[in-house]
Chain A
Amino acid sequence: MKKKPLKERLLQGNEAVVEGALRAGCRFFAGYPITPATEISEQLSVRLPQVDGTFIQMEDEIASLGAVIGASLAGVKSMTATSGPGFSLMQENLGFAIIAEVPCVVVNAMRGGPSTGLPTSPAQSDVMQARWGTHGDHPIIVLCPSTVRECFDLTVRAFNYSEKYRIPVILLIDEVVAHMREKVMISDEEDIEVFNRVRPTMPPEWYIPYEDTPQGVPAMADFGEGYRYHVTGLTHDVRGFPTSRPDEVDPFIRRLFRKVSQNFADLQMGEHFHIDDADVAIIAYGCVARSAKRAVSDCRERGIKAGMLKLNTLWPFMRTDVEKVLRQAKVVIVPEMNMGQISREVKRVNKGEAKVFTINRVDGTIITPQEIMARIKEVF
């Protein structure tokens, strides 16, 4: 069968998230209105019933993530979308999804904070909250797009990772990328890898719901399919029953970390732009990476060997890639729309090979290519 050509469309970042979610097989969305994420709710309220999915507007963000986890336990791929204040409310149930290993996707379209902050202005200030917002030791996967097409691709990836590793995945978009419109090519016929959670195939009496496996990811039974088991936010043994025995707690918590840490190669995505011979390297993500790319091109035109490492995976932190950049470049600049959340990580892994400088903007406006150029001239 001849494939239809890719269709050119003018889409907003939030709209591309919707397209990605539907392509990944999302059939349940629960959310609460909040700027700048509302378009995701609005569009899914139209689209999900058309494909026999379910959209529900809950009474708050706590309820939204609760319903999403419930739907996922019943076997349906599920998602919610919010911004800073709502993301704060979701933190407890996010921890539940981590400990009970329930796949789900949480979109956080970042705006300025703390608190109500700057509802309609961009920021990148939830990077650390996404990593450590819920209490307790835990792994997490956080993805960050910088183009509309990446909003689509990384949403699909977010679902795939959540299904593959039984873990909530956070898609951190900034307000610029969420609301920006770009020409993108998206087609229903395009080959896109979609991963579905591994379900048990053994007889129910043999099923051990939280059994360790080489991958560290146990098979997950849907509620109502004959595998009656217990799901709890308490630390549990391999059968899912609460335990406080040190010899059961320790391997459980370590397994949660292992399923992420032994799969860095699969999870860590970035873009290397003129980075291999760069004397000046910029490490950026989200909308700032767009300005950084322009600054790199302008530098190259003027004979300055600049390059950029764009992080699409924020967590687990792309240490190996960053270390390579630190060894190669003389100067590394980390521009961010926060007071230094990723630069802190870059400095942490720097063994003194490169000088690390930051650009921090916290006024609700974007970092421009000119600003990055000026900083390069200042420090290099």
Chain B
Amino acid sequence: MGDVTKLIHHYLRHDKKFPHVWCPGCGIGIILGALIRAIDHRGYEKDDIVLVSGIGCTGRLPVYVDFNTLHTTHGRALTFATGIKLAKPRLKVIVVMGDGDAVAIGGNHFIHAARRNIDLTAVIVNNSVYGMTGGQYSPTTPYGMKTATSVYSNVEHSFSISELAVTAGAVFVGRGTVYHAKLLESLMEKAFQKVGFSVVEIISHCHTQYGRMNRMGSAVEMMQWQRDHAVTMEKAAQMNEEDLKDMFRIGVLVDRDLPPYQDEYERVRRWSKGVEGK
């Protein structure tokens, strides 16, 4: 058996009725592959992993993999994950969300989970659009782009998920793309290793909706776009603002150490019992 086949047999659910829901060429397949390889490389037990998601194309990811899996309500994955982590801190909690799920309907939960430094990893698939519902604009749809609800042009300004995460207090933030699959795997591994709230943002593509409406071509062409517009953090540091205008940075945006919520709360428990003075 080849290595890939072994991974498939070990991590995919044999009793789940395939085929999956994603369009041919979707970036989520590559992301799922990177996620499984990163988990395998870390050597976690399947029983110890809880994979949580919200609603949307990315929300369908957990059902295919053989962990403790939870498909929650739209935007609320991080709140469920917070309860799981605090109730059973020994579990490794990973949350997968799309851009609409994480920073539109779930935006408030996102900044507060980061602020609290809940010890989990948020994997955010940013394809700039609501794919499952037919391609409506999201908070990460760039200004001037066409979507099913901005057929004339999007007049809203997007924000950066990664920079939002840094500002909100995440201890690790990495950005990758579907094109840079090896980098993605290593960013996920670093995020999983990190104690505290870690974020991996992945620039992905939705050729079925977003790409079609903006004449960006096939999945392959959209991945080539990712390749041509991504700049590593190191390279970006040597570039001026003008050259970086239409580009986005990939790599590790922040990596810092702060005590996670469960450790802080353990102190609360000790104070409450009078074991330790404040």
Tell me whether A63 and B76 are in contact in the complex, defined as CB-CB below 8 angstroms, given that A30-B83, A73-B84, A226-B47 are known contacts.
yes
B:78-128 near A, CB below 8 Å: 78-88, 90-91, 108-109, 112
Q: Separation in Å of the B59 CB from the closest CB of chain A?
A: 9
Given contacts A67-B82, A224-B91, contact A49 B269 (CB under 8 A): yes
Bound form: Cα–Cα A63–B118 in Å: 14
Interchain CA distance A59-B112 in the complex, whole Å: 7
Contact size range, B: 35 or more
Chain A residues lying within 8 Å of B71, measured Cβ to Cβ, are 230-234, 242
A372 within 8 A of B: no
Cβ contact of B83, chosen from A68, A228, A231, cutoff 8 A: A68
Q: Which of B47, B112, B269 contacts A224 (CB 8 A)?
A: B47
Which residues of A sit under 8 angstroms from B86, Cβ to Cβ?
28, 54, 56, 67, 71
Bound Cα distance A59, B113 (Å): 9
- How far is B48's CA from A156's CA once the two chains are assembled, in angstroms? 31
List A23-42 residues whose CB lies under 8 Å from chain B: 27-28, 30
Q: Which one, A50, A92, A223, A239, contacts B84 given CB within 8 A?
A: A223
The contact of B73 among A28, A66, A67, A222, by CB within 8 Å, is A66
- Stretch of B62-70, B170-178, B193-201, B212-220 with 4 or more beta carbons under 8 angstroms from chain A: B62-70
- Given known A-B contacts A46-B272, A230-B69, A66 and B87 have beta carbons under 8 A apart: no
Give A217 Cβ to nearest chain B Cβ, in Å. 20
In the bound complex, CA of A72 to CA of B79 (Å): 13
State whether A58 touches B112 (Cβ < 8 A): yes
Q: Mark A45-59, 1 if CB is under 8 A from B, else 0.
A: 010011010101011
B1-18 vs A: 1/0 string, CB under 8 Å? 000000000000101110
Which B residues lie within 8 Å of A231 (CB)? 69-71
- Scoring A62, A228, A242 by chain B CB atoms within 10 A of each residue's CB, the highest score goes to A228
Establish whether residues B79 and A74, one from each chain, have CB atoms under 8 Å apart when the complex forms.
no
Q: For A59, give the chain B residue with the smallest CB separation.
A: B112
- Assess the B16–A66 pair: CB atoms within 8 A: no
Interface string of A339-364 (1 = CB under 8 A from B): 00000000000000000000000000
* A241→B17 contact, CB < 8 A: yes
Nearest-Cβ distance from residue A50 to partner chain B, whole angstroms: 5
Closest chain-B Cβ to A85's Cβ sits at a distance in Å of 16
Give B227 Cβ to nearest chain A Cβ, in Å: 35
**Contact residues in B for A49 (Cβ distance below 8 Å):** 265, 268-269, 271-273
Give Cα distance in the complex from A69 to B62, angstroms.
18
- The answer to whether A74 touches B76, judged by C-beta atoms less than 8 angstroms apart, is no
Give chain B nearest CB distance to A72 CB in angstroms: 8
Kindly state whether residue B186 has any CB partner on chain A within 8 Å. no
A47-B24 Cα distance, complex, nearest whole Å: 53
Find out whether the CB atom of A233 lies under 8 angstroms from the CB atom of B72: yes
Is B180 part of the binding interface, using a Cβ–Cβ cutoff of 8 Å?
Answer: no
Complex alpha-carbon distance, A92 and B91, angstroms: 26
Interface residue from A58, A63, A229, A241 paired with B68 (Cβ < 8 Å): A229
List of B residues within 8 angstroms of A64 by Cβ? 79
List of A residues within 8 angstroms of B67 by Cβ = 228
* CB pair A228 B79 closer than 8 Å: no
* Chain A neighbourhood of B84, CB < 8 A: 70-71, 73-74, 223
Pull 15 A–B residue pairs with CB atoms less than 8 Å apart, ordered by A: A28-B86, A54-B87, A58-B79, A63-B82, A67-B82, A73-B70, A75-B88, A96-B72, A223-B68, A223-B70, A223-B91, A231-B71, A232-B71, A234-B71, A242-B63
Interface residues of B (CB under 8 A from A): 13, 15-17, 46-48, 50, 52, 62-63, 66-73, 76, 78-88, 90-91, 108-109, 112, 265, 268-269, 271-273
Interface residues of A (CB under 8 A from B): 27-28, 30, 46, 49-50, 52, 54, 56, 58-60, 62-76, 78, 92-93, 96, 222-226, 228-234, 239, 241-242
Beyond the given pairs A54-B87, A70-B79, A242-B71, 10 more chain A to chain B contacts, judged by CB atoms under 8 angstroms and listed by A's residue number, are A28-B87, A50-B272, A66-B78, A66-B79, A66-B83, A67-B83, A73-B84, A78-B87, A234-B71, A242-B63
Q: Which 10 residue pairs across A and B have the least CB separation, nearest first? A: A70-B83, A66-B79, A67-B83, A71-B87, A49-B272, A71-B83, A70-B80, A74-B87, A232-B71, A63-B79
